[in-house]
Structure 1
């Protein structure tokens, strides 16, 4: 007798091939089912054959040919089923279930054909509605088609990424660090040699919150080993993009490890140095597993003594030992690759470079403030050395020495770095490429630091504006001729020619207009010196432990002073002593009696009522003006339109900073005392701040880590170090070089 397949194909020659192959597959499974113990007892062949016969007839096969096919197959399968049932009485049930008849019967409706196709290993490629059949897949190319479909599915999954910041942060909070790390970066023993660690994500959209789109049909390309600076205005979605990458919401290759520094470390009793070592979860897990395997190998040696040499137990123990030793070899190779034996020295070096003394490294993490815990998070990330390191405004948490160290460290970082930063000097030092996020897209400036990018961007903008204006003028010229001579018989042919030219012109979009911001600090009347003078000032919360010793400093109406030094050396304390918020332990502070000071603190948000608008908050905190005057004053700092009337909790960090700048000017200060004024401001805001400080008619004393801002505004550098405050004989760049040379001499900055 001919095979089932040939019989079906002859009877249903006119039917769509995919339906025919489905019927062949169904009958073949029925044939195999006659050998199955369970199905042999339960199979209703009449019902099964009738189901497929009806399917073929409905698909267009001749009724008589299908009836003959059904009769032959039913007879053939019945004989086979009868023989197999007889065998079962002798041999019993020794087969494996190939197809559960209950599941099969649940798909006996024509409406469930697609589900049945999946069950039989055939793609869900047809929709059966009576005689009308629509084929979308060629069976001869099924394997190739499946690969294409898989790629399309991956691309479709990438296309629309709905990102909810609060939800994702919650996920990380629910998981402990180890489990979250392993979920993002599963440990694999297979070799990744030869696998490219470049990242290319094509044509994706990225949304945030309640559907606000921040990227549209964007492409992200990160070449392994490059250091990218991601720049753009506040609120454009840079941090959202980093978080989407860090959680693999975007299709980053699985063999590329990722680590994102965004949240401060949770404090506990773990020592700072140990917390950095524990950050490398792979190393931690491998060491734990290595210890367990070695303990088990010792147990096996002890157990072998209890059995005879040729016994079955000895063979089992030897087999187990061989498996454990093979796995132990893999672990040792993995640990050797990551240079596990040098881990503690490397962790200590990173911590020291970020400002942690040897004593501080042995303190528990819960003894550090939030800023220092952020440094610990950064140290943990640098220690892990992921293939993709994501940094979000890393300089905000660091002082000038630590920023100098970080920049030097990243210059030799062996993998890919993507950092969001508005610190020009830092980006000039670190970045090999710039990615500019704006207008729901990403523009690439390859091989350029920030200054080169900014110059190129401005040139592109000017060229685009020039091209747009030239085309608009040309369009206008053509249109005027067309309008004038369209209905003139003598000129109609020329008018038609110009119409064709007009239609062929490419459609140019007007260049993007970037919103400009201008800060304005009000002019102040002159005061006679001394304005502020510190003489032999010392201060300490305890007399035995002084933060400041014998400080001599004066600030004049034309001063432009930058106060720099490591975090914790007393810079903010000095500012508070100067403003008489703290009383000096010894020495004295002399101030002009008419002096007014405007003080900007790096924690300015803490003093704001974020549930109210900027106008309401200012009217309560600094009463005496009308709402219109407050709005006009806020407008001088870029808080225009309805921004001043929104709840301040809806404003970005940079916008809150602008409100704080506006508030400190309401009393027309003679001296501006600024503690980390550049934090949270984007490039536009920084430019506006620098320009306003240059034009300010009073004095400026700032504590800042932003080398570019200091270089643009200040002409004096004062260094706070070991309780002493002294004038530095050079520029801020000279100070940075001094820091780097000191670190190199101490062996802190090392090549990777």
Structure 2
């Protein structure tokens, strides 16, 4: 009968010593802690998934069931083994060697290893036991809960090791503006996002934070901003996360107000001038005048007179016209208020500026301006972005989040990709070389194991194996593959056409005067233009949601349009699971059909059973795409589809749209996606829609010439 140890080593030959000790430590508690295989899965399932991501959820559950059966049998024979589980019973190593069992960690399985992890981590074990006990209590009370480990109201938490020397230096008034956050953990509910991670930010450098969706990039920024992760107290932080509250403050004044020093000095200046005018000449006036002179000196030192022009330049770069800068903040939409929040951050210049997907709210012209502006950013910048062109233009360093760790690379995103690829190749070569050396040494040990004349040499070889550093094989991130349903019917032109269309909401403010555009099943068209030029309005006319004031919209009678809007993600029911959302949208179909559609966009296994609220922004977008695919459209109209998607998913989206046998019209600011798929560019502006013959390269050159002329 196989022991639990054998089940683990056979099922997970690459399991490292620490995880093996941790799992066996939990199982050593015996069957009294586990009422069913589900309890075993709840306790160690996530750990086993980390060991081998290639195993499906059902395979992990089957292994947990075998482990429970093994422990149950061990309890039955407890009298014969003095109460010790079969998990720890002796194994006949000679028989195992004869059967040519697999090796563990590259050593012969019969060897005695000097393991530095001689005991199970008590804290981990206590946490696991507490988790099991809590689940059993919930189950006994028969409370309605969401799937274990993913509570709807879960919040992020962090812990870190504080360097006493640095803490003492900070309390003593140390003024370094470099930031070091060492050995910290971050969890969201029961899900561990980072473990033993380190973050070092050198003052004045610009860092791009990259990684797959759902790994915790945005959570890290929030925890730094709210102080859950400790940094030097004198470092000023600003996190652009929420839009500006709308009130009667003018847009320009709203930006100027965020410079609290300037605002305070100007307020005191006004108060002093009022007092001087109200008092009679004398000693009091002299004191007031002296203080007023000091204020004027301070205002001159901070270039207070140049502040309005600097604020105006920032607002103009982000798309605010002169008229808009004089509008009240309550008159702007949420998107424009987010731009206003970004403008305030750029104007205030904190020691550490945290930006989370800043390009999502901007058009291409504003993105190009922001790239140029941030290249001269004087303090520390940490930005989460999935726009590789933006990172190439802005970042001096790239921080890669993977395997619950943070790894920093010098250079922009393209250099990061090259360096990482070369590093992984070298790591794989070192691993393969070491494995060959281990096999060679092991072969010598196996050959002369029972040769008395070679006993000393065999022992030296064994010690050599023990001293060899443990090199792990390269953990390749799984490739993102998206899958749209195939188009069953070919349609003959014309497919979708606008003839001399005129449209306006208000007759004195026409949006389109007379436009003529057409698309077919081979079309790959991107609509670009500044915000407010009618891009979304044009999409709605093409969809038929808006009727032209003048002109004709012609659509093929069998045209089936799949429309992805910026608001589709927000319209998902956050309390439902992805499977429940699919069954609500498309009732009457089988669970396998729903899972197949979701699986085509990476929402598989337990992920499909989690509440939508617990998914990352990119995962929510994938659910929206899965819903779109179930409609089996032959034409896609996509409005900003890359928002919240990571770079790998954007690449996959570009590939699947290129393979799609229907037509595609999209509005996007992602340069990479546009250059990947779009053969035609429509530029909205001045009441017209113009086709740019040279594609995106020509359009970008036009924008750069505009900046140069300003």
Which structure 2 residues correspond to residues 207-226 of structure 1 after superposition, within 5 A? 207-210=186-189, 212-226=191-205
What corresponds to 1:384 in structure 2? 348
CA offsets 1:111-167 (integer angstroms, 9 cap, x no match)? xxxxxxxxxxxxxxxxxxxxxxxxxxxxxxxxxxxxxxx961755999xxxxxxxxx
Q: Aligned-pair distance for 1:450?
A: 0.9
Cα distance, 1:212 vs. partner?
4.7
Greater Rg over alpha carbons, structure: 1
Q: Where does residue 418 of structure 1 map in the other structure?
A: 382
- After superposition, the Cα gap between the structure-2 partners of 1:359 and 1:197, relative to the gap in structure 1 and judged at 3 Å, is farther
Matching residue within 499, 512, 529 for 2:493: 529
Deviation, structure 1 residue 493: 3.2
RMSD: 2.5
Residue 462 of structure 1 pairs with residue 440 of structure 2: no
How far, CA to CA, are the matches of 1:353 and 1:523 in structure 2?
43
Q: Cα gap change, 1:258/1:744 in structure 2, threshold over 3 Å: closer, same or farther?
A: farther
SS in 2 for 1:599: strand
Offset of residue 250 of structure 1: 3.9
> Residues 536 and 552 of structure 1 are in contact (CA less than 8 Å); yes or no, is this contact kept in structure 2?
yes
**2:463 corresponds to which residue?**
500
**Alpha-carbon distance, 1:410 to partner:** 1.0
Matched with 2:318 is 354
Contact 2:525 2:678 (8 Å CA) reproduced: yes
User: Secondary structure at the residue paired with 2:465?
Assistant: helix
Is the CA contact (8 Å cut-off) linking 1:199 and 1:220 kept in structure 2?
A: no
Match of 1:601 in 2: 565
The within-5 A match list for 1:675-690 is 675-690=639-654
1:556 and 1:734 map into 2 onto residues whose CA distance is 23
2: distance between equivalents of 1:156 and 1:691? 53
607, 622, 631: which is aligned to 1:643?
A: 607
Bigger shift: residues 725-734 or 196-205: 196-205
CA apart distance, 1:660: 0.9
Q: 2:622 — aligned with what?
A: 658
1:229 and 1:641 mapped to 2: Cα distance? Answer: 31
1:201 alignment partner, one of 180, 184, 201: 180
Distance 1:281 1:208, change over 3 A: farther
Counterpart of 1:691 in structure 2 is 655
Match of 2:239 in 1: 260
Hey, what does 1:474 align to over in structure 2? 437
Gap runs ≥5 in structure 1: 1-149, 159-191, 305-313, 747-752
SS of 2:245's equivalent in the other structure is coil
Aligned partner of 2:367 in structure 1 is 403
- Taking a change above 3 Å as real, the CA distance of residues 740 and 254 of structure 1, as seen in their structure-2 partners, is farther
> Counterpart of 1:585?
549
Q: How does 1:260-659 map to 2 (within 5 A)?
A: 260-297=239-276, 302=280, 304=282, 317=284, 328=292, 330-446=294-410, 448-524=411-487, 525-659=489-623
Deviation at 1:388, TM superposition (A): 2.1
CA contact (8 A) 2:513 2:687 kept: yes
Compute the displacement of 1:731 (Å).
3.1
Name the counterpart of 1:86.
none
Gaps of 5+ in 2: 1-161
CA contact (8 A) 1:200 1:219 kept: no
Partner Cα distance (1:237, 1:332) in 2: 47
Kept in 2: contact 1:204–1:215 (CA 8 A)? no
SS at match of 1:234: coil
Quote the offset at 1:686 in angstroms. Answer: 1.2
Partner Cα separation in structure 2 for residue 333 and residue 456 of structure 1: 50
TM-score by length of 2: 0.73
Q: Is 1:227–2:206 an aligned residue pair?
A: yes
Q: CA deviation at 1:254?
A: 4.2
Distance in 1 separating the partners of 2:293 and 2:444: 83
1:238 aligns with 2:217: yes
Provide the rounded CA distance (Å) in 2 between the counterparts of 1:330 and 1:153. 39
Given the superposition, is the C-alpha separation of residues 250 and 643 from structure 1 closer, same or farther in structure 2, using an over 3 Å criterion? Answer: closer
Contact 1:547/1:569 (<8 A) preserved: yes
Q: Is the 8 A contact 1:205 1:213 kept in 2?
A: no
CA distance in 2 between partners of 1:356 and 1:403 (Å): 13
Query: Per the alignment, do residues 583 and 429 of structure 1 end up closer, same or farther by CA in structure 2, a change over 3 Å counting?
Result: same
Per-residue deviation, residues 690-709 of structure 1 (Å, max 9, x unmatched): 11112111111110011111
Cα deviation for residue 470 of structure 1 reads 2.6
Q: CA deviation at 1:262?
A: 0.9
TM-score by length of 1: 0.69
- Give, in angstroms, the shift of residue 360 of structure 1: 1.2
1:494 shift after superposition: 3.0
- The separation in 1 between residues aligned to 2:396 and 2:175, in whole angstroms, is 20
Shift of 1:413: 2.0
Mark the CA change 1:559 to 1:156 in structure 2 (over 3 Å): closer, same or farther.
Answer: farther
State the secondary structure of the residue aligned to 1:527: coil
Contact 1:486/1:496 (<8 A) preserved: no
Is the Cα–Cα contact under 8 Å of residues 208 and 240 in structure 1 kept in the other structure?
A: no
Superposed CA deviations along residues 266-308 of structure 1, whole A, max 9, x for unmatched, are 1111111111111222211121123234444556x6263xxxx
* 8 Å Cα contact 2:352-2:381 kept in structure 1: yes
1:152 maps onto 2:164 in alignment: yes
Aligned to 1:122: none
String of CA shifts for 1:392-432, please: whole Å, max 9, x gaps.
10000111111111111111222222111000111111111
